Structure 1
Amino acid sequence: MGIQDIIEGKKQWRAHVARVKALPPDYQIVYKELQRYLFKVGPVDLPDGGLLPGIVDFFEEGAAAGKGVLGLIGTDVAAFADGLIKDSRTYADIYQESISGSPGPDRT
């Protein structure tokens, strides 16, 4: 990874954060909780994937339609996040494999 890649990554992240800040306050709160949850247990490919920008797209559409964020995703934010990553290899999977001493299923 070169310096240009790092600079481009930072530009993309700043643009992403600006999109989040443009959301209504209730959407911002839920997004930040989703982000925190996904950074803890989320998919191994989270930094390289399109999951977070996809969530912002989904939230922008919901806000434009005048829907409340909990009406859009339900009242259990963690269950919504789990549904998004159900078929992804997570850090929790890696941890579980490390303490059990057996390799888990190959979900790549």
Structure 2
Amino acid sequence: MSFQEMRDGKKEWRILQAAVKTLPKDYYIVYREIQKYFFKIGVTDTQVFRELLEIFEDGVLREVDILQVTGRDIAAFSDSLLRQDDLCEK
């Protein structure tokens, strides 16, 4: 990975995280917990986090509760997102 690619990646990550901070509190908390889970299992692909943000932003626009977006089993929601992106070996 070149220096330019690393710099661009960091810039993209900062922009993504700034957008996450604009989510309502309940969405923000769940996003951060999913993010921690992804980091624990080694997921670092920015695309996954971008998709998660898009799903959450859609829920905010539709004015639905966060649990209507994720369901009560947030871990299962997270795993299904990874399977959808073929990033989880299950």
- For normalisation by structure 1, the TM-score amounts to 0.72
* CA RMSD after TM alignment: 2.0
The equivalences for 1:1-108 within 5 A come to 1-41=1-41, 46-48=43-45, 50-86=47-83, 88=86, 90=88
Q: State the SS of the aligned residue for 1:66.
A: coil
Q: Residues 15-61 of structure 1: CA distance to partner in whole angstroms, max 9, x if unpaired?
A: 0001100100100100011111111225xxx4335111001011001
Q: State the SS of the aligned residue for 1:37.
A: helix
Q: State the SS of the aligned residue for 2:72.
A: coil
Higher helix share: 2
> Residues of 2 paired with 1:28 and 1:68: CA distance?
12
Q: State the SS of the aligned residue for 1:70.
A: helix
Structure 1 unaligned segments of length 5 or more: list them. Answer: 94-106
> Residues of 2 paired with 1:61 and 1:72: CA distance?
9
> Residues of 2 paired with 1:64 and 1:12: CA distance?
23
Rg larger in structure: 1
Percent identity over the alignment is: 39
Q: Residues 40-92 of structure 1: CA distance to partner in whole angstroms, max 9, x if unpaired?
A: 225xxx433511100101100110111111111111111111112236354xx
- What is the aligned residue count? 89
1:39–1:77 distance in 2 versus 1, CA, 3 Å:
same
